[in-house]
């Protein structure tokens, strides 16, 4: 009995020591665990490019696809200037990506509901929404790793849809903007990955 009693404080001591070592030993894993997030996030960006092409259900060369709609005022606007890409900061860029992704998802869920309301197939919108959710989850985790909270977007203002043709135009607008966003997010993420000193593989 005496022996066991004596060994308990000893065990506690060891446990305490182990706890002390955990934070310091996890420090190198910090950037490298962030580094493991970029690959899957870039992959999701590519997924968005792919799903955006099927969202409106029109063939790739349909003439309606040339109409550039601009009616959904709260769809995110991406900046493509070289200056923008040069000035990227990890915290701010990940936050912005997270915000944009969630905003697209809110638009996508709206599109899904509207398509449903007009008895149109809504699977593609549902699929896009799922891909967006995956990306925002990865972004949220990445933000947690640098000690930032994920931002929440305000509810977008969305128009009343009065006809199936209206709806088709909205889905073209969303799909075009989503495609731009997919390419843009890949570019931003590649750049952030490089800046964070992550190794290529």
Ligand X SMILES: *[C@@H]1O[C@H](CO)[C@@H](O)[C@H](O)[C@H]1NC(C)=O
Residue numbers at the binding site for ligand X (CB under 6 A):
30, 89, 91-92, 113-114, 117, 140, 145-147, 150, 152
CA-based torsion, 46, 52, 57, 59: positive or negative? negative
**Least spacing, CB of residue 135 vs ligand X, in Å:** 11
CA 88 – CA 187 distance, rounded (Å): 11
At its nearest, how many Å lie between ligand X and the CB of residue 199?
17
Of the two residues 92 and 123, which places its CB atom closer to ligand X in the complex? 92
d(CA 173, CA 71): 8
Q: At its nearest, how many Å lie between ligand X and the CB of residue 120? A: 12
Nearest approach, Cβ of 187 to ligand X (angstroms)? Answer: 20
Sign of CA dihedral 39, 45, 49, 52: positive
In the complex with ligand X, the residue whose CB is nearer, 12 or 29, is 29
Q: Measured from the CB atom, is 4 or 155 closer to ligand X?
A: 155
Tokens of residue 137, six digits: 């989850």
Backbone angles phi and psi of 144, in degrees to 5? -60, -35
Comparing CB distances to ligand X, the nearer of 13 and 89 is: 89
Beta carbons of 104 and 130 less than 8 angstroms apart: no
């Amino acid at each position: 009995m005496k022996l066991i009693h004596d060994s308990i404080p000893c065990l506690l001591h060891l446990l305490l020591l182990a706890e002390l070592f955990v934070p310091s030993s996890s420090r190198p894993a910090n950037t490298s665990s962030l580094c493991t997030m970029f690959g899957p996030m870039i992959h999701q960006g590519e997924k968005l490019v792919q799903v955006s092409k099927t969202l409106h259900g029109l063939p790739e060369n349909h003439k309606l696809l040339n109409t550039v709609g601009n009616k959904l005022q709260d769809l995110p606007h991406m900046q493509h200037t070289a200056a923008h890409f040069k000035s990227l900061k990890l915290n701010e860029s990940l936050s912005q990506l997270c915000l944009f992704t969630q905003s697209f998802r809110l638009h996508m869920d709206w599109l899904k509901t509207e398509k449903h309301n007009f008895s149109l197939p809504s699977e593609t919108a549902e699929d896009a929404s799922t891909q967006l959710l995956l990306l925002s989850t990865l972004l949220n985790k990445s933000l947690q790793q640098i000690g930032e909270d994920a931002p929440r977007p305000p509810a977008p203002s969305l128009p009343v849809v009065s006809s199936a043709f209206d709806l088709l135009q909205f889905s073209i607008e969303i799909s075009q903007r989503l495609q731009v966003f997919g390419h843009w997010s890949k570019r931003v993420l590649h750049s952030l990955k490089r800046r964070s000193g992550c190794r290529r593989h």
